[in-house]
Structure 1
């Protein structure tokens, strides 16, 4: 493009009639003082600003500059004659159909916009022409005020009086922002399609013209579906204006688009910077009409939460192939991963990685944009957290044995990841070894709706409650979700456990100022208690067991208390490790972009190693802290087969120490253990012919239980055979049994106790019928 001094100017007399009409309309909606103030503070006319911009700077959490954002760094000016007519027509048809007819201001559109604003009591409608847009982005701060609109109109008239329509259009097309750091049509063509602007076809031109309205929201890199809808609007506008036929529009819409995939500039801190820009875009919508323009042109100073040393270390980890499985998948994919590290006390994100390679500015960030099935990493959020909140303690016992649940799609039998069943186990053991059957059974007791409610309190926003697919089934307990969760949200949810039960929304920006230091925005964290402190601490205690002696041992950091949970989805397509120390919470996801099974990859392998490396770096120089025990937590001794106070029958190996809240201390004695006489020679139930039977405690469980301590079912075949149908069998018929038959606990010759003789009778039972032992606690004690 030519310099300003050499630009051909087609001067025209100012349209004073139009100016008077516009001023009258403006005065109808604004005070005289506002208008006069706008005129007095009108910026000095500087033609150089039609092409210039001011650098914005991003700082880390120590106030050190980490990157600069400047429109001119990605702008290549081109002459209007080198821009394809279909791109010019697409922009005019969409942004200002009367561009060649008006004198800088569209009176009809302004009147309509004023009426809408008055009705809505807002400033939503701008009605800006291309000339007004050029005036705004060149000379004004784009805040939404009536004074700015007045200045914009006056400057638009100046532009129209100094430059021809083609010159204004050339300025505009070289200055307007297209997202992803691209300013002007040439930079946009190269950024999105990897080609020069003159080589764009109609489909590509319509896509770029559609992005102008909202570059952050309509970028095909971040929201392709929305960008395609906008492209269709542009093509329809071109048909309406007579630039193309409907057939040409339909053909352009259906034409596949091939986007550029790589960057030519430095990608250091790329994923974090992208996250900052996205957050800044949301924040500045309340201050600027075009926040993207402000970010890249207004010289803003953006102070962030990033620990640049940890971010750099994380990027180095992701560049190291030893942290990932070697080779590619059967479909030729490279395994991908994402990571988030945050300070759970403040919600500050300290480091974020959206993929193994940073490939595109403002592109796909797997840490934020990707929703993947969390597998067992979801259990603390949707099962164990709400269970603890309801009063189920870490020593609550359920039977880890095969079970089938009826579901709308048919019977469902959850399976444990290792194919093993452990019988009667506590909640702590189930968390430690990621036992699926226990989690599903507990979820049924807690109520899946209560679990979903709890997860949403912890900041999970992607759950589906209705429709053909929903997350209200028991499979939700195992992370089987309709959409999945993002690494950022799941990490923040675990941060609630680390933060004493208080949720803090994650953020990347601390403060934004103007180039002169005027503070535009200061982050004010909002704290929300989502669970009792005791619930958070008990969960932390169980998650520490996972790292100390469970599925997450590879995440151990010497001298540092670590709590965490592994997660591997049932289809082996996603692997997670999410955990925390007293200082920070970190989540790591691993999988393929296009769903495909991984081999030899689980949450406790590569994801745990990445977690350990990043967390170790984050803790350098940090004071060593401990998880503080809140009031109301007590230590208790219980039987791990019942979760109750030990009885005299409970073997020493079953008596454990654990924690409970003061209002959930067990007050009942274990009734799970019963005595059986065992023949020491055969190891089976003793008969009357066994010379030296030995009483031994077993757990009273259903016959189909997989508990290793359930009693044997066969009688000694060394000293005698099992009772026949002609034998009289001692039966306990205590009235408390009702009419049921139970085997009497008859003492041997050197024993005392058993069922009282007053309730023991002899009955002839059919061959093979073996009534269960007497279940009454007082009889069991006597039989000891």
Structure 2
């Protein structure tokens, strides 16, 4: 019995207890739970306090290193100043488009429009606005801001424009802290009207225009005081995105922004709703002018002189991530203004050279061989009032013709095969491997076996291509890569007499011959100082591109291009000056050759150098296939003449010193002439060209010079493995060249036309190569110190 009654009693007792607790009502929490809650609360408060203290400490730590901000910094323009090598200003992008307006001349409606748009609590805050920051954060979350205001006050925006870089990489916590600290100082030291005045005069308004007074002149042809409400609202809304809100280029976006400003003004009771609606109904194009001429701080003549150089400077800055329109940069360049002016005068007047017409064009670059500094650059002649026009000095869509021979043929032959300057090379009938396409020299004659030196200074095509074939496309390409040139597609034998490179690239490559074999990537910008005073220095890191023996021997051969009575560059001769160089002329393709006189070419080059300067000059017409737009046989010397007059000027301000043979080069006499060979490689050298590669017209014996300097036949001396690459796939205009008549340097027409022909592969070739490309990229890079 007891076993059954016991659970019942227990359940009855439990029910009674529950009834008593229910009747007693809610019970107080146990004391232990309250203590736990308090501890958690204390921890949370402590963390918050510590966080605030840490934040305050970090803020003041960053504030201590904030840059100084002066009245001149606040009131000055944020333009990009460009200096030449002597520290003289040559351009002020934006400064020429800025007219300062004092506070008393700022329309009240404009001031109120700016405040309504950028900082509604401007007169209440002390430079920073916690309420505004929280409001901006809330608006961003809810999407209720209509894009009108961010977290920065108008004063903070002024500080940013005056002191700090606007680059995205500088948007750090440190910069934000320093910005806030300086905003507090500016608010303390200057009145609100002064701050507003500085802001209105500093903001960027698109199209190189700074300040709203200048913007009024640029867009409406009027002063600020002459603008209506709709126009003032338009200007007030532009600083947030001056490009997108340009009323000329993007009227739909400009109107949307203007109307938001008007709505904000009405909401702030600056204007009535009726006034806002009336202004919104005004066409966005109302009052806009077509003539946007403004006073330039840099003379028009100076702008013309440095146009191409400046364009390339801005390109370099862009590549480095700088904003040239709102960055307030100081840019120091390598420009030699004297050399630039002389080059400009040579190509734009008839005081030096007789140009055939105003449409005859020039592209030229001058490089210091010892550091890669680009000291002058011309992108065209007779260009009119065009700012940043086509820069022909850096275009790569024209063949460099025979100026490619030292770069792709003879340079690699000395570097990799140890050819001496007297290496025997064949000037005999040549057919491109795997094709029936023949290559000819300018005079359509064959000279048999001649020296490499003679082949170079007379600019013979066949020996150059034969030499390239012995070197191999792979090694030749490696040599070019070392000189800063890389190509999207595989090069071919045809490129041995024509590369698609610019005068800037070529001047830098030849500069490596001048300095003993070191390549420096060409550069124009030497230093950039940002608004916060931080300096970024730039140099070009030299990289060994060839042996000193190769550089010296090429230079010695290229001296003869200018001085030998049969040299192709005699028009470039300067009495008494130690110099070397190479000519290049690019003939028309066969299907067009009958439309131009004999000897006419599309392009004419000369690239030459001393130990102090390398100068590359391209001449020709932009539309070379247009009637009359050819370079006649007599006009091919114009490039040489431009070089001669420019180098004569440069030589006056630099020592005239000759090159000396390095210890790795040995001098010898061959046929009474001074020749050189790489020390340890003086033996006779065979031409290993095979019959199967060149066709039945080629000889199988190999001529070489014996130790007594006489021409002998020898097939057992040092041999060179012939390349297996051939031009067998989609060769550009692989058609037989027609006689051109007396031109001293025409290349095979295959280097100039874009027509492609596919042919079968040669039985001796193991690798096909594709057509040459006119695309390139620079392999080296600047080193920032």
Task: Output one character per residue of 1:627-676: Cα deviation in whole Å (capped at 9) or x when no partner.
Answer: 111112223455xxxxxxxxxxxxx7xx865221123212479999xxxx
Aligned counterparts, 1:106-185, within 5 A: 107=136, 133-138=157-162, 140=164, 142=166, 144=170, 145-152=172-179, 175-177=202-204, 181-183=208-210
Matched with 2:302 is 268
2:430 to 396, 403, 408: 403
| Structure 1 position 529 matched with structure 2 position 555 | no
Matched with 2:652 is 620
Matched with 1:559 is 576
Shift of 1:181: 5.0
Give me the whole-angstrom Cα distance separating, in 1, the residues matched to 2:392 and 2:490.
22
Distance change >3 Å, CA 237–CA 670, structure 1 → 2? closer
| Structure 1 position 587 matched with structure 2 position 626 | no
Q: Secondary structure at the match of 1:73?
A: helix
Residue pair 1:457, 1:530 contacting (<8 A) in 2 also = yes
Aligned counterparts, 1:537-552, within 5 A: 537-549=552-564, 550-552=567-569
Q: Secondary structure at the match of 1:356?
A: coil
Q: Which has the higher contact order (CA 8 A, sep 6+)?
A: 2
| Structure 1 position 348 matched with structure 2 position 365 | no
Give me the whole-angstrom Cα distance separating, in 2, the residues matched to 1:594 and 1:173.
47
Matched with 1:492 is 508
Comparing 276-285 with 570-579, which one deviates more in the overlay? 276-285
Matched with 1:664 is 681
Residue pair 2:553, 2:676 contacting (<8 A) in 1 also = yes
2:466 to 437, 441, 447: 441
Matched with 2:405 is 379
Distance change >3 Å, CA 45–CA 618, structure 1 → 2? closer
Matched with 2:415 is 389
Residue pair 1:368, 1:487 contacting (<8 A) in 2 also = yes
Shift of 1:41: 7.5
| Structure 1 position 36 matched with structure 2 position 60 | yes
Task: Output one character per residue of 1:428-447: Cα deviation in whole Å (capped at 9) or x when no partner.
Answer: 12211211222222222211
Aligned counterparts, 1:717-736, within 5 A: none
| Structure 1 position 421 matched with structure 2 position 446 | yes
Task: Output one character per residue of 1:695-723: Cα deviation in whole Å (capped at 9) or x when no partner.
Answer: xxxxxx9984699xx9xxxxxxxxxxxxx
Distance change >3 Å, CA 350–CA 172, structure 1 → 2? same
Give me the whole-angstrom Cα distance separating, in 2, the residues matched to 1:105 and 1:45.
27
Q: Secondary structure at the match of 1:268?
A: helix
Give me the whole-angstrom Cα distance separating, in 1, the residues matched to 2:399 and 2:474.
19
1:293 to 318, 326, 332: 326
Give me the whole-angstrom Cα distance separating, in 2, the residues matched to 1:533 and 1:193.
63
Matched with 1:73 is 96
Give me the whole-angstrom Cα distance separating, in 2, the residues matched to 1:523 and 1:308.
20
Task: Output one character per residue of 1:15-43: Cα deviation in whole Å (capped at 9) or x when no partner.
Answer: xxxxxxxxx9xx79995434224567888
Distance change >3 Å, CA 278–CA 703, structure 1 → 2? closer
Distance change >3 Å, CA 34–CA 354, structure 1 → 2? farther
Matched with 2:666 is 634
Q: Secondary structure at the match of 1:573?
A: strand
Residue pair 1:104, 1:132 contacting (<8 A) in 2 also = no
2:493 to 452, 465, 474: 474
Shift of 1:625: 0.4
Give me the whole-angstrom Cα distance separating, in 2, the residues matched to 1:529 and 1:313.
32
1:321 to 344, 350, 363: 350
Comparing 138-147 with 550-559, which one deviates more in the overlay? 138-147
Give me the whole-angstrom Cα distance separating, in 1, the residues matched to 2:687 and 2:399.
39
Task: Output one character per residue of 1:744-765: Cα deviation in whole Å (capped at 9) or x when no partner.
Answer: xxxxxxxxxxxxxxxxxxxxxx
Distance change >3 Å, CA 290–CA 394, structure 1 → 2? same
Distance change >3 Å, CA 76–CA 417, structure 1 → 2? farther
Give me the whole-angstrom Cα distance separating, in 2, the residues matched to 1:565 and 1:290.
40
Aligned counterparts, 1:200-349, within 5 A: 265-268=299-302, 272=306, 275=309, 279=313, 290=323, 292-295=325-328, 300=330, 302-321=331-350, 323=352, 326-328=355-357, 334-349=359-374
Shift of 1:498: 0.5
Task: Output one character per residue of 1:116-150: Cα deviation in whole Å (capped at 9) or x when no partner.
Answer: xxxxxxxxxx9989986554114545572423223
Give me the whole-angstrom Cα distance separating, in 2, the residues matched to 1:620 and 1:105.
67
Task: Output one character per residue of 1:338-392: Cα deviation in whole Å (capped at 9) or x when no partner.
Answer: 2222220122223222222574444443323565321111221122111111122
Q: Secondary structure at the match of 1:605?
A: helix
Query: Could you state the TM-score of these two structures normalised by the residue count of structure 2?
Result: 0.58
Shift of 1:501: 0.4
Give me the whole-angstrom Cα distance separating, in 2, the residues matched to 1:67 and 1:260.
20
Task: Output one character per residue of 1:507-544: Cα deviation in whole Å (capped at 9) or x when no partner.
Answer: 3344456899x771344442211101000011101111
Residue pair 1:285, 1:291 contacting (<8 A) in 2 also = no
Matched with 1:726 is none
Shift of 1:586: 0.9
Task: Output one character per residue of 1:242-294: Cα deviation in whole Å (capped at 9) or x when no partner.
Answer: 99xxxxxxxx9xxxx999999893332756577468547856997x9745534
Give me the whole-angstrom Cα distance separating, in 2, the residues matched to 1:705 and 1:545.
28
Number of equivalenced pairs: 568
Residue pair 2:205, 2:239 contacting (<8 A) in 1 also = no
Matched with 2:272 is none
Distance change >3 Å, CA 138–CA 519, structure 1 → 2? closer
Shift of 1:103: 4.3
Give me the whole-angstrom Cα distance separating, in 2, the residues matched to 1:367 and 1:605.
18
Query: Could you state the TM-score of these two structures normalised by the residue count of structure 1?
Result: 0.58
Residue pair 1:272, 1:306 contacting (<8 A) in 2 also = no
Matched with 2:749 is none
Distance change >3 Å, CA 537–CA 520, structure 1 → 2? same
Give me the whole-angstrom Cα distance separating, in 1, the residues matched to 2:433 and 2:514.
36
Residue pair 1:568, 1:574 contacting (<8 A) in 2 also = yes
Shift of 1:552: 0.4
Distance change >3 Å, CA 35–CA 271, structure 1 → 2? farther
Distance change >3 Å, CA 81–CA 624, structure 1 → 2? same
- The unaligned stretches of length 5 or more in structure 1 are 1-23, 84-90, 92-101, 113-125, 162-166, 199-204, 219-226, 244-251, 639-651, 673-700, 711-784
Task: Output one character per residue of 1:445-490: Cα deviation in whole Å (capped at 9) or x when no partner.
Answer: 2112322221121112xx433xxxx352222112154xxx221111
Give me the whole-angstrom Cα distance separating, in 2, the residues matched to 1:592 and 1:30.
68
Distance change >3 Å, CA 581–CA 237, structure 1 → 2? same
